[in-house]
Chains A and B, each alone.
Chain A
Amino acid sequence: MGSVYKLTFRQLSGRWRLIITLLLTALPVVMGVTWRLIEGDRFPDADFQDIALNGMLSGAIIPLVALAIASAAFSNEIEDRTLANLTLSPIPRWKIVLPKLLGAMTVSGAFLVTSAFITSFIAFSGDMEAVMAITAGAAVAVALYSSLFLWAGLMTTRAIGYGLLYVFLWEGMFAGLVSGVRFLSIRHYSLTVMHRLDERIFTGGEHLSNGVVIGASVGVFVIFLALSIRRLRRMDVP
């Protein structure tokens, strides 16, 4: 599995991809710094949490970066027809899919989790309860989105297009407007994790119960991982 992981890590670490990811993930940090400069030691209010953390980080940057990186883990190999190098090896399919997923999570997680950590550290003046809550929530989101978009990259050559529709329509619009949709929203799982770990942030009654969030998060991760393995077994590899 180490070979596939190293290969994936290298494939997803192209210069331009990293530069764009760095710029995107720097935005919440800039907002955190701005808040601190303007507000001094004041604990970030609901507006900051909604705009910088809920809106920008959880609602846009985490899913978009995860989409760009995880969907490319397989789709690039399908496009340039190098995937057969892996599938024609005497290793079970899960030993291809799992390191691909871990590779994608490593690349996107390195930026996103670091961004969440630094942003919250600056905005919450080093309050470690808040920092750890936001960092853990971001890590959960990275894992779940990566599993979902890795599968999308195997299913279609238009994973980016469908992924954008999913992020902006489902996660951004429907999950915000229709409360029932939150049971099927990765963003809300992530926000709930943040809230449960530090109940001062993302307060309100819209969050899900611990059991639902843990069960749904594990379920989403495992189901899309299993679907990717199944897809790789059944597809015609170009």
Chain B
Amino acid sequence: MTNSDIQNASGASQEAVIKVENVSRWFGNVVSVSDVSFEIKPGITGLLGPNGAGKTTLLRMITGLADVSDGKVTVFGESVRNNSALYSRIGVMSEHETVYQFMKGRDFVKMMGELRGVKDLDNAVDKAINLVDLSDAAYRPMGTYSRGMRQRMRLAATLVHEPDILLLDEPLNGADPRQRVHFQNLLLSYASQGKTVVLSSHILEEVEQLADTVLLIVNGKLAASGDFHAIRAALDDRPYHVRVISDSPRDLASELVKLETVDAVNVDPEGAIVVLSRNVRDLQIELPRLAKSAGVRVRRVEPLDDSLESVFGYLVEG
């Protein structure tokens, strides 16, 4: 199930629930967010950008934790700053993993439920803890939790009042692969109820698996926004360096150079092939086939310019 399926299936209102209008934020002479405008509708939206791009500042302004230097943020048509009543409809999980070390997980979720005026509190707490699959550890102090467990219990506390909007800042930090899958299914299920999930991440693939709508933030500015797949296609078409280690580099190089989407093939001093491709998907498909036909054994394939900064640099320049 993808986000677009969710939106179509749920028939959820497509009215924007979050509006960010010409928002800027500066700290002294440093501009953290510059004149950013966008709207977020129900479903899962990914806030994507390299570390230090301004994602967290933007999320903090949306949640009302930080004030804007200029511009306006509204949630459900209301300013969120100093509008505490609105928090009964918003759930926020910040990137900071600190918890009350002395407090048992269940007590933490219960306290957050109490603060948010949850009725039938015990059931709500059990439900939230079950959702994150931490019932077994619910009565342990959070100081004894692993990083992933802390994140999950914090998520349970964020979900306990079943908010209409979930704002999650780098929520998959510290999660192992199994927890990631669980977490992703949970968010997809949540969004399928017509709710809004905003997920911030600096990992492209993480957002790809969850969000169809993406807001790309680079250097405090909105570099691109919209359908994830169109953005991903743009990424796939950019020139791309890939390093291939094999037992017969020259044989493999002579095969690779025949590919139409390969612009250059070099063998580096360590005997590995460096391929410059214009279509990385095509290379992914063709490389195993060519290696097999040439009788070459491929030991390792690694992207050379897959850092998010280089991806965003390409997008911004493009």
A236→B117 contact, CB < 8 A: no
What's the nearest-Cβ distance from chain B to residue A8, in Å?
11
Given A3-B111, A90-B85, A91-B115, check contact A82 B99 (CB 8 Å): yes
What's the nearest-Cβ distance from chain B to residue A14, in Å?
8
A10→B112 contact, CB < 8 A: no
Q: Is B24 an interface residue (CB 8 A)?
A: no
Q: Is B67 an interface residue (CB 8 A)?
A: yes
Chain A interface residue count, CB cutoff 8 Å, equals 25
B94→A89 contact, CB < 8 A: no
- Minimal Cβ-Cβ distance residue in A for B88: A90
What string of 1s and 0s marks CB contacts (under 8 Å) between B95-124 and chain A? Answer: 010111011000000011011110000000
- Minimal Cβ-Cβ distance residue in A for B114: A3
Among the 9-residue stretches B58-66, B181-189, B211-219, the one with 4 or more Cβ atoms under 8 Å from chain A is: B58-66
A129 to B216, CA, bound (A): 71
Q: Is B9 an interface residue (CB 8 A)?
A: no
Given A3-B111, A7-B111, A81-B94, check contact A90 B82 (CB 8 Å): no
CB interface residues, B 63-93, toward A, < 8 Å: 63-67, 82, 84-88, 90, 92
User: What A residues does B94 contact at CB under 8 A?
Assistant: 81, 84
A82→B100 contact, CB < 8 A: yes
User: What A residues does B102 contact at CB under 8 A?
Assistant: 10
A85 to B97, CA, bound (A): 12
A66 to B114, CA, bound (A): 29
B88→A7 contact, CB < 8 A: no
Count of A-B contacts judged by CB separation below 8 Å: 61
A85 to B90, CA, bound (A): 12
A84→B112 contact, CB < 8 A: no
Given A7-B100, A85-B112, check contact A90 B92 (CB 8 Å): no
User: What A residues does B92 contact at CB under 8 A?
Assistant: 84, 88
- Minimal Cβ-Cβ distance residue in B for A237: B65
A3 to B63, CA, bound (A): 22
User: What B residues does A11 contact at CB under 8 A?
Assistant: 100
What's the nearest-Cβ distance from chain B to residue A128, in Å?
39
Shortest beta-carbon contacts, A-B, top 7: A89-B115, A90-B88, A81-B96, A90-B87, A236-B66, A80-B98, A3-B114
User: Measuring CB to CB, which residues of chain A are less than 8 angstroms from any residue of chain B?
Assistant: 2-4, 6-7, 10-11, 80-82, 84-93, 233-234, 236-238
In the assembled complex, 30 residue pairs joining A and B whose CB atoms fall closer than 8 Å, in A order, are A2-B114, A3-B114, A3-B115, A6-B111, A10-B100, A10-B103, A80-B98, A81-B94, A82-B98, A82-B100, A84-B94, A85-B112, A85-B115, A85-B157, A86-B115, A88-B64, A88-B65, A88-B87, A89-B115, A89-B116, A90-B88, A90-B115, A91-B84, A92-B84, A93-B84, A233-B82, A236-B66, A237-B65, A237-B66, A238-B65
